[in-house]
Structure 1
Amino acid sequence: MSFWEKDGFTISTDKQYLDIDVIHQFLSVDSYWAKGISVESVRKSIDHSSICFGVYEGNPESGKAKQVRFVRAASDFVRFAYIMDVFIVNEYRGKGLSKWMMGIVTEQSELINVEKMLLCTNDAHGLYAQFGFKVIDNPEIYMEKKD
Protein backbone atom coordinates (compact mmCIF):
# COMPACT_ATOMS: atom_id res chain seq x y z
CA MET A 1 0.00 0.00 0.00
CA SER A 2 1.22 3.48 -0.81
CA PHE A 3 0.50 6.94 0.63
CA TRP A 4 1.16 10.41 -0.76
CA GLU A 5 0.34 13.64 1.09
CA LYS A 6 -0.04 17.23 -0.12
CA ASP A 7 -1.78 20.34 1.22
CA GLY A 8 -3.97 18.49 3.72
CA PHE A 9 -4.97 15.72 1.28
CA THR A 10 -3.81 12.11 1.12
CA ILE A 11 -3.78 9.60 -1.71
CA SER A 12 -3.85 5.97 -0.63
CA THR A 13 -3.94 2.66 -2.51
CA ASP A 14 -5.14 0.83 0.60
CA LYS A 15 -8.62 -0.48 -0.21
CA GLN A 16 -9.59 -0.66 3.47
CA TYR A 17 -9.94 3.14 3.53
CA LEU A 18 -12.25 3.41 0.52
CA ASP A 19 -15.68 4.82 1.37
CA ILE A 20 -18.05 2.52 -0.52
CA ASP A 21 -20.99 4.85 0.19
CA VAL A 22 -19.23 7.82 -1.46
CA ILE A 23 -18.11 5.71 -4.42
CA HIS A 24 -21.53 4.13 -4.89
CA GLN A 25 -23.33 7.47 -4.60
CA PHE A 26 -21.16 9.10 -7.25
CA LEU A 27 -21.18 6.18 -9.67
CA SER A 28 -24.87 5.31 -9.35
CA VAL A 29 -26.23 8.88 -9.31
CA ASP A 30 -23.70 11.39 -10.66
CA SER A 31 -21.69 9.48 -13.28
CA TYR A 32 -22.71 9.13 -16.91
CA TRP A 33 -21.12 5.68 -17.24
CA ALA A 34 -22.49 3.68 -14.28
CA LYS A 35 -25.89 5.17 -13.44
CA GLY A 36 -27.93 2.80 -11.34
CA ILE A 37 -25.05 0.47 -10.47
CA SER A 38 -25.74 -1.54 -7.34
CA VAL A 39 -23.63 -1.25 -4.21
CA GLU A 40 -22.88 -4.96 -4.54
CA SER A 41 -21.45 -4.38 -8.03
CA VAL A 42 -19.34 -1.48 -6.75
CA ARG A 43 -17.93 -3.69 -3.98
CA LYS A 44 -17.22 -6.52 -6.42
CA SER A 45 -15.52 -4.18 -8.90
CA ILE A 46 -13.24 -2.83 -6.16
CA ASP A 47 -12.47 -6.28 -4.75
CA HIS A 48 -11.40 -7.51 -8.17
CA SER A 49 -9.49 -4.41 -9.30
CA SER A 50 -5.72 -4.63 -9.38
CA ILE A 51 -5.26 -1.26 -7.69
CA CYS A 52 -7.53 1.50 -6.40
CA PHE A 53 -6.65 5.07 -5.47
CA GLY A 54 -8.61 7.15 -3.02
CA VAL A 55 -7.99 10.84 -2.39
CA TYR A 56 -8.95 11.96 1.08
CA GLU A 57 -9.25 15.31 2.76
CA GLY A 58 -7.11 14.50 5.78
CA ASN A 59 -5.34 11.22 6.43
CA PRO A 60 -7.44 8.05 6.33
CA GLU A 61 -5.23 6.40 8.95
CA SER A 62 -6.63 8.93 11.46
CA GLY A 63 -10.17 7.66 10.90
CA LYS A 64 -11.37 11.23 10.24
CA ALA A 65 -10.64 11.64 6.54
CA LYS A 66 -13.28 12.32 3.88
CA GLN A 67 -12.95 10.58 0.51
CA VAL A 68 -13.22 13.09 -2.36
CA ARG A 69 -11.74 11.30 -5.39
CA PHE A 70 -11.45 7.77 -6.75
CA VAL A 71 -9.68 5.87 -9.53
CA ARG A 72 -9.44 2.14 -10.06
CA ALA A 73 -7.47 0.03 -12.52
CA ALA A 74 -7.37 -3.49 -13.87
CA SER A 75 -3.79 -4.33 -14.73
CA ASP A 76 -1.08 -6.97 -14.96
CA PHE A 77 1.38 -4.20 -13.91
CA VAL A 78 3.58 -4.99 -16.93
CA ARG A 79 1.85 -4.72 -20.30
CA PHE A 80 -1.61 -3.25 -19.76
CA ALA A 81 -3.77 -1.18 -17.44
CA TYR A 82 -7.35 -0.07 -17.90
CA ILE A 83 -8.11 3.03 -15.84
CA MET A 84 -11.76 3.42 -14.87
CA ASP A 85 -14.36 4.91 -12.56
CA VAL A 86 -12.37 8.14 -12.28
CA PHE A 87 -14.27 10.84 -10.42
CA ILE A 88 -13.97 13.75 -8.04
CA VAL A 89 -16.75 14.90 -5.73
CA ASN A 90 -18.17 18.11 -7.22
CA GLU A 91 -17.30 20.50 -4.38
CA TYR A 92 -13.61 19.49 -4.58
CA ARG A 93 -13.15 20.30 -8.27
CA GLY A 94 -10.78 23.10 -9.20
CA LYS A 95 -8.29 22.38 -6.40
CA GLY A 96 -5.70 20.55 -8.54
CA LEU A 97 -6.60 17.16 -7.08
CA SER A 98 -7.31 15.61 -10.49
CA LYS A 99 -3.89 16.55 -11.83
CA TRP A 100 -2.18 15.40 -8.64
CA MET A 101 -4.02 12.07 -8.74
CA MET A 102 -3.26 11.39 -12.40
CA GLY A 103 0.38 12.28 -11.79
CA ILE A 104 0.52 9.71 -9.00
CA VAL A 105 -1.32 7.07 -11.06
CA THR A 106 0.89 7.47 -14.15
CA GLU A 107 4.25 8.56 -12.74
CA GLN A 108 4.63 7.25 -9.16
CA SER A 109 2.39 4.24 -8.55
CA GLU A 110 2.89 0.56 -9.36
CA LEU A 111 1.51 1.40 -12.83
CA ILE A 112 4.53 3.55 -13.75
CA ASN A 113 6.16 1.00 -16.08
CA VAL A 114 3.03 -0.42 -17.68
CA GLU A 115 3.48 -0.46 -21.46
CA LYS A 116 -0.07 0.60 -22.38
CA MET A 117 -2.78 2.35 -20.38
CA LEU A 118 -6.29 2.78 -21.68
CA LEU A 119 -9.20 4.83 -20.42
CA CYS A 120 -12.47 6.19 -21.75
CA THR A 121 -13.80 9.70 -21.25
CA ASN A 122 -16.52 11.90 -22.70
CA ASP A 123 -15.23 15.17 -21.32
CA ALA A 124 -11.73 15.15 -19.81
CA HIS A 125 -9.45 14.71 -22.80
CA GLY A 126 -7.44 17.83 -21.89
CA LEU A 127 -6.67 16.52 -18.41
CA TYR A 128 -5.55 13.09 -19.59
CA ALA A 129 -3.51 14.49 -22.49
CA GLN A 130 -1.27 16.18 -19.90
CA PHE A 131 -0.27 12.68 -18.76
CA GLY A 132 0.47 11.20 -22.17
CA PHE A 133 -2.94 9.85 -23.10
CA LYS A 134 -4.00 10.40 -26.71
CA VAL A 135 -6.59 9.21 -29.18
CA ILE A 136 -6.02 5.52 -29.89
CA ASP A 137 -3.70 4.67 -32.77
CA ASN A 138 -5.39 2.13 -35.02
CA PRO A 139 -8.79 2.09 -33.31
CA GLU A 140 -9.88 -0.52 -35.86
CA ILE A 141 -7.88 -3.19 -33.99
CA TYR A 142 -9.92 -2.68 -30.80
CA MET A 143 -13.14 -4.56 -30.26
CA GLU A 144 -15.70 -4.46 -27.50
CA LYS A 145 -18.48 -6.65 -26.19
CA LYS A 146 -21.24 -4.87 -24.31
CA ASP A 147 -24.04 -6.36 -22.28
Structure 2
Amino acid sequence: MHYEVDDDPVRIDLDAVCAFLTTEPYWGRWRTETVIRDQVRAAWRVVGAYTADGGQVGFARAFSDSVSAAYLADVYVLDAHRGHGLGVRIIQRMIDEGPGAKFRWMLHTADAHRLYRRFGFTEPSHTFLERAADLP
Protein backbone atom coordinates (compact mmCIF):
# COMPACT_ATOMS: atom_id res chain seq x y z
CA MET A 1 0.00 0.00 0.00
CA HIS A 2 1.21 3.49 -0.83
CA TYR A 3 1.36 6.06 1.98
CA GLU A 4 2.22 9.73 2.10
CA VAL A 5 3.76 11.45 5.12
CA ASP A 6 3.21 15.20 5.19
CA ASP A 7 3.73 18.10 7.60
CA ASP A 8 0.98 20.32 6.23
CA PRO A 9 -1.22 21.27 9.22
CA VAL A 10 -4.19 21.92 6.92
CA ARG A 11 -4.34 18.22 6.04
CA ILE A 12 -4.68 17.01 9.63
CA ASP A 13 -8.05 15.36 10.22
CA LEU A 14 -8.87 16.64 13.70
CA ASP A 15 -11.86 14.30 13.97
CA ALA A 16 -9.61 11.29 13.30
CA VAL A 17 -6.98 12.50 15.77
CA CYS A 18 -9.61 13.07 18.47
CA ALA A 19 -11.27 9.71 17.80
CA PHE A 20 -7.96 7.91 18.33
CA LEU A 21 -6.55 9.93 21.21
CA THR A 22 -9.73 9.87 23.31
CA THR A 23 -10.13 6.09 23.06
CA GLU A 24 -6.93 4.21 22.24
CA PRO A 25 -3.61 5.29 23.80
CA TYR A 26 -2.59 4.76 27.40
CA TRP A 27 -0.92 8.17 27.46
CA GLY A 28 -3.78 10.56 26.98
CA ARG A 29 -7.31 9.18 27.07
CA TRP A 30 -8.04 11.63 29.88
CA ARG A 31 -8.04 14.52 27.42
CA THR A 32 -11.28 15.85 26.05
CA GLU A 33 -11.84 16.47 22.37
CA THR A 34 -11.65 20.20 23.07
CA VAL A 35 -8.24 19.85 24.75
CA ILE A 36 -6.90 17.73 21.88
CA ARG A 37 -8.14 20.17 19.24
CA ASP A 38 -6.51 23.05 21.12
CA GLN A 39 -3.23 21.11 21.46
CA VAL A 40 -3.12 20.29 17.75
CA ARG A 41 -3.98 23.84 16.73
CA ALA A 42 -1.29 25.24 19.05
CA ALA A 43 1.35 22.70 18.02
CA TRP A 44 4.67 23.99 16.75
CA ARG A 45 4.59 21.24 14.12
CA VAL A 46 2.36 18.33 13.11
CA VAL A 47 2.93 15.37 10.81
CA GLY A 48 0.28 13.11 9.35
CA ALA A 49 0.40 9.81 7.47
CA TYR A 50 -2.19 9.25 4.75
CA THR A 51 -3.40 6.48 2.46
CA ALA A 52 -3.54 7.02 -1.30
CA ASP A 53 -7.15 8.19 -0.99
CA GLY A 54 -6.19 10.79 1.64
CA GLY A 55 -7.42 9.00 4.77
CA GLN A 56 -5.31 9.81 7.80
CA VAL A 57 -3.78 6.74 9.44
CA GLY A 58 -0.98 8.23 11.55
CA PHE A 59 -0.06 11.38 13.41
CA ALA A 60 2.49 13.18 15.58
CA ARG A 61 2.70 16.64 17.04
CA ALA A 62 5.46 18.65 18.66
CA PHE A 63 5.74 21.75 20.76
CA SER A 64 8.90 23.79 20.91
CA ASP A 65 10.63 27.02 21.85
CA SER A 66 11.49 27.25 18.11
CA VAL A 67 15.15 27.78 18.98
CA SER A 68 16.78 24.71 20.50
CA ALA A 69 14.33 22.27 22.09
CA ALA A 70 11.21 20.35 21.13
CA TYR A 71 8.91 17.79 22.68
CA LEU A 72 7.47 14.94 20.62
CA ALA A 73 3.91 13.94 21.49
CA ASP A 74 0.94 11.85 20.39
CA VAL A 75 2.76 9.66 17.89
CA TYR A 76 0.50 6.93 16.54
CA VAL A 77 -0.25 4.71 13.57
CA LEU A 78 -3.60 2.94 13.33
CA ASP A 79 -3.33 -0.82 13.97
CA ALA A 80 -4.40 -1.79 10.44
CA HIS A 81 -1.53 0.24 8.97
CA ARG A 82 1.32 -0.82 11.24
CA GLY A 83 4.21 -2.81 9.86
CA HIS A 84 4.77 -0.55 6.85
CA GLY A 85 7.40 1.71 8.43
CA LEU A 86 4.97 4.59 9.00
CA GLY A 87 6.09 5.21 12.58
CA VAL A 88 9.66 5.58 11.37
CA ARG A 89 8.61 7.86 8.50
CA ILE A 90 6.49 10.06 10.78
CA ILE A 91 9.27 10.50 13.33
CA GLN A 92 11.89 11.01 10.62
CA ARG A 93 9.79 13.75 9.00
CA MET A 94 9.19 15.40 12.37
CA ILE A 95 12.71 15.22 13.79
CA ASP A 96 15.26 14.85 11.01
CA GLU A 97 13.58 16.55 8.06
CA GLY A 98 12.23 19.69 9.59
CA PRO A 99 13.23 22.94 11.23
CA GLY A 100 14.10 21.11 14.47
CA ALA A 101 16.70 18.79 12.98
CA LYS A 102 19.43 20.21 15.26
CA PHE A 103 17.21 20.58 18.34
CA ARG A 104 17.26 18.65 21.59
CA TRP A 105 14.16 16.42 21.41
CA MET A 106 12.31 15.01 24.40
CA LEU A 107 9.37 12.68 24.94
CA HIS A 108 7.72 10.54 27.58
CA THR A 109 6.79 6.99 26.62
CA ALA A 110 6.34 3.62 28.27
CA ASP A 111 6.87 1.71 25.03
CA ALA A 112 8.47 1.79 21.56
CA HIS A 113 11.91 2.52 23.01
CA ARG A 114 13.54 0.54 20.20
CA LEU A 115 11.87 2.77 17.61
CA TYR A 116 12.93 5.99 19.34
CA ARG A 117 16.53 4.79 19.84
CA ARG A 118 16.83 4.79 16.03
CA PHE A 119 16.52 8.57 16.24
CA GLY A 120 19.05 9.07 19.02
CA PHE A 121 16.75 8.93 22.03
CA THR A 122 18.41 7.35 25.06
CA GLU A 123 17.02 4.90 27.54
CA PRO A 124 14.44 6.31 29.96
CA SER A 125 15.91 8.43 32.71
CA HIS A 126 14.59 9.62 36.01
CA THR A 127 16.50 12.89 35.85
CA PHE A 128 13.44 14.95 35.06
CA LEU A 129 10.71 16.35 37.24
CA GLU A 130 7.14 16.77 36.18
CA ARG A 131 3.94 18.09 37.60
CA ALA A 132 0.70 16.41 36.54
CA ALA A 133 -1.78 18.56 34.70
CA ASP A 134 -5.12 19.42 36.21
CA LEU A 135 -7.00 20.04 32.98
CA PRO A 136 -10.72 19.57 32.41
Pair in the same fold by TM > 0.5: yes
| Contact preservation (8 Å) 1:78, 1:113 | no
| 1:87 CA displacement | 0.6
Structural mapping, 1:97-136, within 5 Å:
97-114=86-103, 116-135=104-123
| Contact preservation (8 Å) 1:70, 1:85 | yes
Matched, 1:37 2:31: yes
- Alpha-carbon separation, structure 2, partners of 1:117 and 1:130: 13
Identity of aligned residues (%): 28
Per-residue Cα deviation, 1:39-92 (whole angstroms, up to 9, x for no partner): 11111001111001011112xxxxx40101100000123211000011111100
Unaligned runs of 5+ in 2: none
If asked which structure has higher relative contact order (CA below 8 Å, sep 6+), I would say 2
| 1:36 CA displacement | 4.0
Match for residue 43 of structure 2 among 25, 49, 61: 49
Structural mapping, 1:1-147, within 5 Å:
8-58=2-52, 64-114=53-103, 116-135=104-123, 139-140=126-127, 142-147=128-133
Unaligned runs of 5+ in 1: 1-6, 59-63
Q: How many residues align?
A: 133
Deviation >6 Å, runs of 4+? none
Output the aligned Cα RMSD. 1.6
Q: What is the TM-score of this pair, normalised by structure 1?
A: 0.83
| Contact preservation (8 Å) 1:24, 1:37 | no
- Alpha-carbon separation, structure 2, partners of 1:91 and 1:112: 30
| Contact preservation (8 Å) 2:64, 2:70 | yes
Letter of the 1:104 partner, please give it: R
